[in-house]
Amino acid sequence: MAGKIKQLIDELVRLRTKNNPNVEPFVRAHLVLNGVNPDAYTPASADDPEKIRALENMIRDFQRR
């Protein structure tokens, strides 16, 4: 399914920013530092299982807090 990475990135940004647009650039920068460039993925991007796993782990870690 193409676009899964984009969906996970959007979900993670939404969770971490709590819909506060002022925090979004910092969350995106944090993703880049963790090896995921949010601007590199579109809904048509091919899915990389390693990136999907990493993003799912980030989401799980954040939801546990």
pLDDT tens for 32-43 read 998 899 999 999
pLDDT, tens digit (0-9, with 9 covering 90-100), for 1-47: 678 999 999 999 999 999 899 999 999 999 999 889 999 999 999 99
Burial of 31 (0-12, 13-18, 19+ CB in 10 A): buried
Kindly list the distances between the CA atom of residue 42 and the CA atoms of 2, 19, 59, 65, in Å, as whole numbers in the listed order: 9, 20, 19, 28
Contact 41, 1 (CB under 8 A): no
pTM of the model: 0.86
Give the integer Cα–Cα distance in Å for 11 and 1.
17
Provide the domain limits for residue 60. Answer: 4-64
Instruction: State the total domains in the chain.
Output: 1
